[in-house]
Amino acid sequence: MWGPRDDAPPQTRPAPLVDPFQRAITYLRLSVTDRCDFRCAYCMAEDMQFLPKRDLLTLEELDRLCAVFVARGVRKLRITGGEPLVRRDILQLFRRLSRHLTSGALDELTLTTNGSQLARFAPELADLGVRRINVSLDTLDPEKFRAITRRGDLATVLGGIEAAQAAGIRVKLNAVALKGVNEDEIAPMLVWAHERGMDLTLIEVMPLGEIEGDRTDQFLPLSVARARLQERFTLTPLPDRTGGPARYVRVEETGGRLGFITPLTHNFCESCNRVRLTCTGKLYMCLGQEDAADLRAALRASPDDALVTQAVIDAIARKPKGHDFVIERARPAAVPRHMSVTGG
């Protein structure tokens, strides 16, 4: 049952989470499901075996875990999946988490989505305090979109983006740069996004999970993509940070921002302030490492939060300095779990 929780006010909160390299952990990415209504070719296998629903934490348990992290200094909470909006009754979780915005304990509650359900959920998400979201969109070509996602409909996603913007939510687009697939679309997508008031962030393909193809065939270094863009646009580096790993430039010709996430050609670990929590209660201190802490047992062992809080503290104490993504070694994958397990 949902019940009241006595979240400590900011002035009485205990010590924040700090890892062995003196990085404060202020950002939690929570995957509420490993399921998705798409099967993007670089992310999932065609025939995915998803977790049994009985293995998932309840929404109440996810809320309780988030409260533990917020009490320990997490200021930003991103809901991810899979596709988070396909989780049944997901808005109940957003309703509960929004209390941390009201209290001032949380600066931002946001999500990453494929956009397929946005038209349905955007108005209430906005009412609950969601001010910006990331939408994964790799192409503006309907046929290519269907090929990449294996089942998605571009028009539905574009309608969801429009609904989010109409509700007052700022949208940032995330596009995975795929060699021979969408590399010729990067410049047109940049212009299209900026004309509609959206940032665009480019992401290198990551070697997580086994897929049918070889990721060395998909990998496009963003250093190459950036050099090509600089033949057409003036890119001015910006100090802007949004709590994640992107490095930003301003595109002078459009006035918009362009981000680069480069886990392979230039890792972003030195300033890492985030951890990832799965829908089964596993806490991954690093996206590119397999070490994880199982918080579910501690969570269910006691009605109070002492055990699970200590489990979190112990886990952060072994957060590594960085990941070890190397695309040439990623056969079949550098890390066997799919991105949908840990959250994008």
> DSSP readout, 80-97?
ESS-GGGSTTHHHHHHHH
CA-to-CA dists, residue 111 to 26, 79, 137, angstroms: 16, 4, 14
Tens place of pLDDT for every residue, the chain, 344 residues?
Answer: 565 555 555 555 678 999 999 999 999 999 999 999 998 888 878 878 889 988 999 999 999 999 999 999 999 999 999 999 999 999 999 999 999 999 999 999 999 999 999 999 999 999 999 999 999 999 999 999 999 999 999 999 999 999 999 999 999 999 999 999 999 999 999 999 999 999 999 999 876 445 445 556 778 999 999 999 999 999 999 998 766 678 999 999 999 999 999 866 555 567 789 999 999 999 999 876 778 999 999 999 999 999 999 999 999 999 987 755 444 444 444 444 445 555 55
Under a CB-based contact definition with an 8 Å cutoff, are residues 287 and 338 in contact? no
DSSP state of 73: T
CB atoms within 10 A of CB 6: 6
Name the pTM for this structure.
0.86
- The CA distance from 219 to 326, in Å, is 11
What is the DSSP code string of 118-135? HHHHHHHHHHTT--EEEE
pLDDT score of 337: 42
- The CA distance from 297 to 301, in Å, is 6
pLDDT score of 5: 55
Please, which residues have CB within 8 angstroms of residue 340's CB and are 6 or more apart in sequence? 31, 34, 35, 36, 43, 44, 48, 81, 82, 209
